[in-house]
Structure 1
């Protein structure tokens, strides 16, 4: 990097599960450009029917940095920050136009439809509901936002039917 001119760009910062707001606030307190796109959805809790604001991309916030070593370390020292998304060569920047488009999308107040596309065989973990903490293998989509997850035990598979929002893909390191 010696001789390279550092230019500011947007990067996706992976966070611990449910730490998006903590990381967003921590970065903002350090006067860094940060963007946490949120959308309004209906709460899925059975005991109440209210609208709540949730991250558009659970587990991620966007930060604008030039990746100078000091700032890079400061970003990763934020409670709940895991790593900047990238390849073996380092973090990969995101085009300004992409971030601008996301800002427009979440700023309109219109419904934004999201979802994670799982592929058959993906290692997943159930993060909400009665099966929270269970790891398994994604099997198929059932419709109405439901998915089938196969759980292996004693050399046999058992399948559970859970809501797609309650399932997250395991990082490849953990799978």
Structure 2
């Protein structure tokens, strides 16, 4: 048991069952932590449970491999996590994280405080990338919707014995095909055709 008088005002003491403090409360400040390769996510989580917000900008992308769609992330600045401490970081406590290698320092060796304005652009990279992906997805959906056949559309048969014949879509069927009417030998005929065998003639926006 420690005797009274062993502590001074300003000392940080870890309470049993809680995470040790890694900063002295004060003015909010940003730092760039250098981290081990591919450990950015773990460092963010480690900081988070200790009251420090951290992020690293990434580009999220989806790729299909062997028929399976998977999402992967490409880091803009690999090896760095930007951390906002609500006060002065306790350097040795932060370095207790097994994946933190250090921080960007000033010429005198002290951890450098980052400017908020410069960080704003870096921090917005995720949001901007997400907005761009959503805009592209919406554009693809609009193009797909525009390309779908509609009742009253004029179409051409792509292949088969009726290839090149002009027809009109009368009805869209539940199986994804269409009922179309066309003239042959001076008479009107009505048949069912699959959607991929019909070429729309209307101009797409």
Task: Name which structure has the greater RCO, CA cutoff 8 Å, separation 6+.
Answer: 1
TM-score of the pair, normalised by structure 2: 0.43
TM-score of the pair, normalised by structure 1: 0.50
Which structure is higher in helix share? Answer: 2
